[in-house]
Amino acid sequence: MVASPQTEKFAACLRMLKDRSGRGYDSLGKQAGVSGSSLHRYCSGLSVPTDYRAVHAFAKVCGASGDELRELHRLWALADADRDVPATAVPEAGPAPEEPVVPAQASPPLDDDVVPPEITPDEGGKPPRSRLQEKLSSRFAILAAVVAVVLVAGFVWLPGDSGGDSSAEDGELLYSHACQSVSMGQHDACVRELQTLLLRAKGKLAVDGDFGPETLRRLTAFQVLAGLPATNVVDDATKKALYAQKVSMTTWSPAKVTKLIREVFVEDPDTAVAIARCTSFLDPLYVLPNTNGSRNWGVFQISDRRLSELGGTPLRAFDPEWNIKAAHRLWSAQRDFHDWPSCEAALKNTPTSTPTTTPKS
């Protein structure tokens, strides 16, 4: 198996974290809840985990920073996207095949009345031309003139009909033909326009033209806040909402989130804050997509399944107060953090800190 370039980059990042920890695969795997042999395959580029939570747990055990976790998730998403792309086989070089020998035969006339006569040299030493060539040249000249007239007529009549791109002419780039599809992995002016509009809506992300995991998270949050389906792509309804500028992505600060967590989780406030920081960086609008199509939402990254059990929705999960109190309800079932196994295991021996840098796209 030949790993793709994206898988190699992802594996190299894992190896760097593993080497820096100074620990073996079995030791790291036991603490992260992953088998040592699986970790060895991931770090060797032999396979890509289908569930990012295993990667997150491994990185936390290795002491990854907030920036390193974000970069690792970006690399995992790209490697995961390449998972089912077959490698293109390159044939071995060999001798060029011989040209088939075709018996000489008389060519049939092109038409009954345009059989080319003998070709005689023109005066002045110019290359010889047949009457057929002269006829074809004149026909092509007439055809070119007709095409030119049609094009000119079209330009005269078309300004009143922009073909659906009138909004693009008004500076709304996402309505242009070039931006019909804007989705994960894209890198162009369309993505930069999307990021600029999300930033204008008070979303926190970098404007670099690269549609990565952070841009996908912000797009998903915007769609939910706008009351739209979370499609992972910039469809027409999303474009309309972005340009309408009626959706605000303003939310609580990490300090305010931390304060409420401590007030709600009076039994174990320090661990609760650490779990929330591990799962969402204390970001109320954090979204983590899973490879099976499900998502985790908000401060405590409550899964779709848990949301259903708690009578919640993605929109409610973005409300920090509802999310924190719902997480406490989950904690109260067994009075532990079993709903967050990866972070619970990683936090036992790994110090945490609040990231202060602007997330990458």
Give the strand pairing for 302-303 and 287-289.
unpaired
- Closest to 34 measured CA to CA, from 10, 61, 7, 15: 61
Ranking 146-155, 271-280, 281-290 by mean pLDDT, the lowest is: 146-155
Whether 90 shows a pLDDT value over 70: the answer reads no
- Degrees to nearest 5, angle at CA 146 with 142 and 151: 145
Q: In what order do the strands lie in the sheet with 287-289?
A: 287-289, 295-297, 302-303
Q: Which amino acid is at 17?
A: L
pTM score above 0.85: no
Mean pLDDT of the 97-112 span = 45
Whether 195 shows a pLDDT value over 70: the answer reads yes
Q: How far apart are alpha carbons 66 and 356 in whole angstroms? A: 8
Domains and CATH numbers, the chain: 5-81 (1.10.260.40), 169-244 (1.10.101.10), 254-347 (1.10.530.10)
Confidence of residue 353 (pLDDT cuts 50, 70, 90): very low
- What is the CB neighbour count within 10 angstroms for residue 150? 10
Residues 6+ apart with CB under 8 A from 67: 355, 357
- In DSSP notation, 202-227 reads T-----SSB--HHHHHHHHHHHHHTT
Q: Percent of the chain having pLDDT more than 70?
A: 71
Task: Name the residue with higher pLDDT: 19 or 204.
Answer: 204
Q: How far apart are alpha carbons 173 and 69 in whole angstroms? A: 32
pLDDT of residue 357: 47
